[in-house]
Amino acid sequence: MSTAAENINGKSTDASQENTTTVTSAAVTNGTDSKKEVPLKQLFEQSTQYNHWRYTQSALNQLRGKVNQEAIATIRQNIEEENQQRVAQGLPRDDSTTSLKFLTVDEELSLLGFYERRMAQIFRYWKLPSYVMATAIVYMKRFFLENTAMDYHPKDVMLTCMFLARKTENYLMTIEDFSNVIKKPAESILDLEFLVCKNLRFHFTVHHPYRPCIGFFYDMQAVTDNMKRLQKMHETAIKFIDTSLHTDLCFLYQPSQIALAAIRLACKEESYEFERYANYKFRATESAAQMYDEILLPILLAIEQVLTDDPRCKEVEKSVATEIDKRLKMCKDPAKNPESLIYIKRKRTEPNGDDDDDDDDDEDRPSKRTRLGEDGFAE
Amino acid sequence: MATSTLTTTLFDDDVCPVCQTDRYLNPQMKLKVGPCFHKMCENCIERLFANGPAPCPTCRQTLRKATFSEQTFEDLSVEKEVRIRKQMSSKFNKRREDFKTLKDFNDYLETVEDLTFKLANEIDVETTKAAIDKFAAENRDLIRINADRLLNESRMATQRQEMLRKERQQQREAYQMELAAEQAAKNEDRRMLIQELATSDKSAKSILAARQAISLKKTSMRKTEVKPATTSSSLNGTSLLSDTYWRMQRDEEVDRHHEEDEEMVADSFDPVQSQYMDVDLGVGYVNSVNNNKAHAGGLQYPLLSSSSGIKDLYVEPVGVGSLSKVAKAGGYRLGFGYERAIEDAHTALFVPTLQS
């Protein structure tokens, strides 16, 4: 299965793309209305990724820090409540967790990085196009912007994100086959599915730098002198894009910018002349060159720096991950443990069961669908 | 179970061994065969087995009315063997794929034959039946799987046949409608010609000459559209069948020619030298416009490196086979892929980063 071909031909379009192309074609082909200027809106400006999932680095840090702190506070509170319950029932207090050091944001991130790479491994085994894996990784990143690893262990979320990404990118694998291959029960994967969708705000389409990279590859063919070196450079650029997935670049920059930066970096590595292409393309006029130098070049340099220097681009050692995992087990939230006392107490007082657990609905009604009366209306 | 009138005439001198009725006494007499392979006419079967199981008059085996079936072969021994084989095949339905070597498969087939022979000639019936039952019990799952497979295959085969039949029918109808339309057009033409001859005051010769010129133009136009000329043969009235056949042949040839042309062109593509490629992708496709103007509703790319707009053919990255074959799928243009990739490369390129 060829990655590039699937990249071009396989992906589904946003509905927004259809709208703007018909608008522009109407403007151009209709001779009588050619005087009316219909602005050619950038298609990307209508995507959810552009409108909802862009942050600054400081905003990201703040968001993650806040989530982490809130979770720690909740867990501490719940542990205290659990201990009170135990005392009330005559059991001894469980004070093993008072001196516990909860996970920091950095530790959570390295744990996530470890599981992201595991995901990448499994996708490589399945030999699917890169963008399916990329979508799964981005789902997981977005999920853990609003949740902490202490509440939902990354290894469960990882499976759900993989399953979901296969669905949204049109490489569906049924839950039976999936649980057979992954060797985990289907319920553990499906339980989290709705929660993940909710935290993604149901924005399932993710744009990756792969297709822009191929677009630049095509474009560079107009000014290349050595096709083979160009192709080699393109392969290296794709590898850089693969590493970029493990950083926060997808939240900070646009896919086309990341692709161009990857290409610039790959040109440096393969000693292919990038400036020739840049001059041809961006420095044709004074104003264009100015725009390039002021806006685009700093962005490219910033991305390149991340790709070369950021520690998250490197592999996470298994030992580090297991250590963090061990600590994670200790700081689990008692409210989520079905055997804890406060879980039982809360289950009893809540009328509809947990928000996140949508399987509870089955207990009230025998059939999931509403039953229709004789005249076709719901009873 | 075909018992048409044709087969019954073969059994003109049939006599029911039980009641000695022949066709003279009962013209609709039909002899049925029971599990013990003894024949009986339907009236006798009614009479004997109306009140449940009863012994066969010839061999005293207990039979029921339902176990009687029509006779398909004149020779009773053949009928018996066929019935045995049918029963066996429902149990012994292993296929070549279920065996590792050809020899194993052949050995299996030979054992099946042995058992069938024994059953058909009533040798060691008890032991044979026991062996069969044992086999059936051991391989129950495989038998079931193979039975399902067979069912699926037959279902798919009937579906395919159905689809083919429908397709052919549709094609036939389409061609017939086309011909009918053309015939109507011809008739209309002739009528107008006659009317013109009758009413106008130009000379007959000039009118006819004008008509000829128009019809010639029409035929030459149709030739370039890869449709066969019919007006030349219209006056002679060729037969329906040969016309449609000839048309189908013509279309096939055209497709083949376009295939060959396209492959040759893609191989000789040089990305550096050529500014612009004329790649004929087949009937019905038009080459994209040769400049930065919008094509197929696309956006303009003032930054695009190629001054001639998006090229028609690019070299693919390593690992991607030739995409020219993909382009042959109906409605798909190679350019779609290029356009999407290049569009994605250019959108949002100058979007500044968010400032906190």
Q: What is the pLDDT of residue A209?
A: 95
Q: What is the pLDDT of residue B68?
A: 82
Give the Å distances, CA to CA, from A17 to A42, A45, A135: 9, 10, 19
User: For residue B268, is pLDDT > 60?
Assistant: no
Q: CA-nearest residue of chain A to B273?
A: A222
The ipTM of this complex is 0.73
Q: What is the pLDDT of residue A139?
A: 96
A252 Cα to chain B: minimum distance (Å) = 7
B240 Cα to chain A: minimum distance (Å) = 43
Contact assignment for B356 to A211 by CB distance below 8 Å: no
**Partner-chain residue, chosen from A22, A214, A222, that has the shortest CB–CB distance to B305:** A222
Lowest mean pLDDT among A231-245, A304-318, B2-16, B208-222: B2-16
Identify all chain A residues contacting B339, using CB atoms and an 8 Å cutoff: none
Q: What is the pLDDT of residue B130?
A: 87
Cα–Cα distance measured from residue B115 to residue B121, given in angstroms and rounded to the nearest whole number: 10
* Interface residue of B333, B349, B354 to substitute, partner A, most A CBs within 10 Å: B349
User: For residue B270, is pLDDT > 80?
Assistant: no
Q: Which of B207, B195, B284 is nearest to B215 (CA)?
A: B207
Most trustworthy range by pLDDT among A133-137, B193-197, B240-244 = A133-137
B321 touching A (Cβ < 8 Å): yes
**Partner-chain residue, chosen from B306, B311, B317, that has the shortest CB–CB distance to A217:** B317
Q: What is the pLDDT of residue A114?
A: 94
Residue B32 has what DSSP assignment? E
B150 vs A265, which has greater pLDDT?
A265
Instruction: Tell me whether residue A210 is exposed, middle or buried, using C-beta atoms within 10 angstroms of its C-beta: 0 to 12, 13 to 18, 19 or more.
Output: buried
Alpha helix (H) residue ranges in chain A:
3-9, 15-29, 48-52, 57-88, 105-126, 130-146, 154-168, 175-182, 186-191, 193-199, 210-220, 227-244, 249-252, 255-269, 274-282, 286-291, 297-309, 318-330, 341-349, 361-364
Count helices and strands in chain B by DSSP H and E runs: 10, 5
Q: What is the pLDDT of residue B351?
A: 85
Identify all chain B residues contacting A259, using CB atoms and an 8 Å cutoff: 345
User: For residue B299, is pLDDT > 50?
Assistant: no
* Interface residue of B351, B355, B356 to substitute, partner A, most A CBs within 10 Å: B351
A340 vs B196, which has greater pLDDT?
B196
pLDDT band at B249 (very low <50, low <70, confident <90, very high): low
A215 Cα to chain B: minimum distance (Å) = 4
* Interface residue of A1, A8, A224 to substitute, partner B, most B CBs within 10 Å: A8
Q: What is the pLDDT of residue A215?
A: 92
Contact assignment for A40 to B348 by CB distance below 8 Å: no
B291 Cα to chain A: minimum distance (Å) = 14
pLDDT in tens, chain A (379 residues): 334 333 344 343 343 343 333 343 333 334 444 444 444 455 677 788 888 999 999 999 999 999 999 998 988 888 888 888 888 888 777 776 666 778 889 999 999 999 999 999 999 989 899 999 999 999 999 999 999 988 899 999 999 999 999 999 999 999 999 999 999 999 999 999 999 999 999 999 999 999 999 999 999 988 888 888 999 999 999 999 999 999 999 999 999 999 999 999 999 999 888 998 898 888 888 888 888 888 899 999 999 999 998 888 888 889 999 989 988 888 777 777 777 777 788 888 876 655 555 554 444 444 445 555 556 565 5
User: For residue B237, is pLDDT > 50?
Assistant: no
Identify all chain B residues contacting A253, using CB atoms and an 8 Å cutoff: 353
B303 touching A (Cβ < 8 Å): yes
pLDDT digits (tens, 9 = 90+) for B76-112: 778 788 888 888 888 888 888 888 889 989 998 998 8
Identify all chain B residues contacting A31, using CB atoms and an 8 Å cutoff: none
Domains, chain A, in order of start with CATH, read: 2-49 (no CATH), 50-206+331-362 (1.10.472.10)
Instruction: Tell me whether residue A31 is exposed, middle or buried, using C-beta atoms within 10 angstroms of its C-beta: 0 to 12, 13 to 18, 19 or more.
Output: exposed
A375 Cα to chain B: minimum distance (Å) = 38
Which helix (H) or strand (E) segment holds residue B30: the answer is none
**Partner-chain residue, chosen from B323, B343, B349, that has the shortest CB–CB distance to A257:** B349
User: For residue B119, is pLDDT > 80?
Assistant: yes
Q: What is the pLDDT of residue B344?
A: 85
Cα–Cα distance measured from residue A181 to residue A62, given in angstroms and rounded to the nearest whole number: 38
Most trustworthy range by pLDDT among B1-10, B62-71, B128-137, B297-306 = B128-137
Q: What is the pLDDT of residue B160?
A: 93
Q: What is the pLDDT of residue B191?
A: 92
Q: Model-level pTM? A: 0.54
Lowest mean pLDDT among A9-13, B13-17, B139-143, B261-265: A9-13
Contact assignment for B318 to A235 by CB distance below 8 Å: yes
Q: CA-nearest residue of chain B to A303?
A: B353
Name the 3-class secondary structure at B41: strand
User: For residue B241, is pLDDT > 70?
Assistant: no
B288 touching A (Cβ < 8 Å): no
B339 vs B263, which has greater pLDDT?
B339
Q: What is the pLDDT of residue B279?
A: 39
* Interface residue of A58, A214, A223, A236 to substitute, partner B, most B CBs within 10 Å: A214
A325 vs B295, which has greater pLDDT?
A325
Identify all chain B residues contacting A7, using CB atoms and an 8 Å cutoff: 341
pLDDT digits (tens, 9 = 90+) for A268-288: 999 888 998 898 888 888 888
Identify all chain B residues contacting A28, using CB atoms and an 8 Å cutoff: 293-294, 297
**Partner-chain residue, chosen from B298, B321, B344, that has the shortest CB–CB distance to A256:** B344
Q: Which two tokens stand for residue A49?
A: 């990724």
**Partner-chain residue, chosen from B306, B326, B341, that has the shortest CB–CB distance to A222:** B306
Identify all chain B residues contacting A219, using CB atoms and an 8 Å cutoff: 304-306, 342, 345
**Mean pLDDT computed over B291-307:** 50
Q: CA-nearest residue of chain A to B315?
A: A218
